Structure 1
Amino acid sequence: MTSARMKGVKCCFLLLISLMDLAAQDQFTLATYNVENYLDKEVPGRKVKSEESKLAVRETILKVKPDVLVVQEMGEPSALSELRDSLARRGLNYDHVRLLDAYDRYIHVALLSRFPIVSERHHTNDAFLLEGKRLPVSRGFLEATIAVNDDYQFTLFAAHLKSKRSVHYADESRMRAREATILRKKLESILREQSNANLAVLGDLNDSRDSIPIRTIVGRGKLALKDTRPGESTGIGKPIDPDVTWTYHYDEKDSYTRVDYLLVSRGMAREWIRERSLVLAMPNWIEASDHRLVISTFRARD
């Protein structure tokens, strides 16, 4: 092959790579992951996460490298910084990071994004009346609008509803239902103004699809959200088992349930790529967390 022809082949190859990169920028991934007590300091009722478990969390995230990641059960800012810095050393950089400082002082909702956060609201003062008591939304809600590119933005709500663990002062299921009602009102305040808004709800909602809290958040009619409900897979682009959707293992009862959700508005559902959305199956998933990571892919254009 002549040098001129080799040069031409090289140019074509570089052009192909550039086009592939451009195509990749036309899509983005959105994930939620309960990282189970990602703590660097012991707090009441919760232990410091081991280095082995932290490593397993990082390996899980690095397997799919989400562009935007919402996590639950994150510890103090120092723990979030450690996770971000550890991922950066492995080549996954999140330049935009937020920690929601709500009523629960020990575990938090957090957001890590490769894309700029153009606006945000930290909903940390919501409360509700139940059984004669005024109770806070313990973990709050993190609202953020993210610019994927010059032409595409979306707003996410990161949530971690009340767990099914019993408390002495109120019924846990009714607490979760009240939190869901508050969240739904926030969603509707956006959707009633702009029914085609790009809107996503991510997080550990601690209940089943047919429960009152989940049905409340999803809503009805034209303003209802779409449950992406991805199946199990070992990675993006790999075969997906649509019948295996569990995201949480409850050790005491040896049960496997789906409590982690990625819900989207009708407007954003148009950009959703079903075949590139999954519950990540890792051989050592339990070393990282009692939850599994959920990730969906979207086209970055309306």
Structure 2
Amino acid sequence: MTHREDQFTIAFYNLENFFDTHDDPHTLDDDFTPDGRKEWSESRFRKKSKKLGRTIALMGKDYSSVPPVLVGVAEVENKIALDAILGTKSLKEVDYDYVHFDSPDERGIDTGLVYHKDHFKVLDAEIIPLLISNGNGDRDYTRDILYVHGRLNEEEIHVFVNHWPSRRDGADKTEYKRIKAAETVLNKINSLESENPNIIVMGDFNDDPNSKSIQTLMDSGLFVNPMQHLLSPATGSANYKGEWSLFDQILVSHSFLNYQKGTHSFKKAKIFAPKFLKEWKGKYKGNPFRTYVGKKYLGGYSDHFPVYVVLKENR
């Protein structure tokens, strides 16, 4: 495998409830405090920070000579949690910064975008509220969509980081919320001034590549979903009751299929699932090695594998 100077990794990682240890009086984060149900202590927080830092540092290492230039994250509580990851031994030498806004999610978990300052410059960033209601007409306070407009090695790109509403009350019953999320992303794209913009839509969509919400994005004709073929009965990014799903995906616009000088072309898409991120024995062998199962502390990384794409800079 070649370590290519002209290849860059763009990743997405659901960090599985990565909270700091402090109680935020405005959110439902009490479980994740030292006295809470999960006994979330400073040492557990530090251990997890180290593990996540190591994982991010290694993503795409087989294809690129630099650590990931963009990493979208979900289920991160705040800047304290992001700073802890970026301050770990694995990442502190990398010139990383991030975009993060607090979202109205009732548990206080947000999305964020970590970026490599040598390769990416933020031009503009905002949150796009996802305005959906529950069956009773009350607003469902869920994660905002994070939109970042920037330059990747001088080429302008538009990045959307998503963590769409969960299936907790049933996949069919909640489907309309995720379709609405897809429509919200498309509305923003339609308002962009640029011609044929370079767009990356990444996230934990709580839906597979063939679900209606993802098809809503695909029906716009703007995207290629390179993750489509990565889901099989034996592989995915998360496993629930013995079934693999691929809720974690990165879609790229067709503009990443060109080879013009100064642009980036899509090379490959991967689920990052090395041995150390997996359960190594027992009936869950091969599944993501989680931090918790219920309130039982396992000390793993996350209940999701990260995913990434490799882009080649055309020089």
TM-score (norm 2): 0.73
Structure 2: segments with no counterpart, 5+ residues: 24-28, 33-37, 60-66, 259-263, 278-288, 290-299
CA, structure 1 residues 37+284, in 2 after alignment: closer, same or farther (shift >3 Å)? Answer: same
Determine whether 1:128 maps to 2:124.
no
Which AA in structure 2 matches 1:28?
Answer: F
Number of aligned positions between the proteins: 261
Are the counterparts in 2 of residues 195 and 267 from structure 1 also a CA contact under 8 Å?
no
2:10 aligns to what? Answer: 30
1:59-115 deviation line (CA, Å, top 9, x unaligned): 211112211110000012211111111156553330x31112111152110111012
TM-superposed CA distance for 1:228, in Å, is 1.5
Are the counterparts in 1 of residues 209 and 228 from structure 2 also a CA contact under 8 Å?
no
TM-superposed CA distance for 1:132, in Å, is 5.1
Cα RMSD between the aligned structures?
Answer: 2.9
1:7 aligns to what? Answer: none
Map 1:23-172; keep pairs closer than 5 Å: 24=5, 26-41=6-21, 43-44=29-30, 46=32, 47=38, 48=40, 50=44, 51-64=46-59, 65-86=67-88, 90-94=92-96, 96-105=97-106, 106-114=108-116, 115-124=120-129, 126-129=130-133, 131=135, 133-136=137-140, 138-150=142-154, 152-166=155-169, 171-172=173-174
Aligned residue for 1:299, secondary structure, equals: strand
Q: Which has the higher helix share?
A: 1
Are the counterparts in 2 of residues 230 and 278 from structure 1 also a CA contact under 8 Å?
no
Are the counterparts in 2 of residues 55 and 288 from structure 1 also a CA contact under 8 Å?
no
* % identical equivalent positions: 23
Distance in 1 (alpha carbons) for counterparts of 2:123 and 2:57: 25
Map 1:1-302; keep pairs closer than 5 Å: 24=5, 26-41=6-21, 43-44=29-30, 46=32, 47=38, 48=40, 50=44, 51-64=46-59, 65-86=67-88, 90-94=92-96, 96-105=97-106, 106-114=108-116, 115-124=120-129, 126-129=130-133, 131=135, 133-136=137-140, 138-150=142-154, 152-166=155-169, 171-190=173-192, 194=194, 196-221=196-221, 224-229=222-227, 245-250=235-240, 253-270=241-258, 271-275=264-268, 277-285=269-277, 286=289, 287-301=300-314
Are the counterparts in 2 of residues 148 and 300 from structure 1 also a CA contact under 8 Å?
no
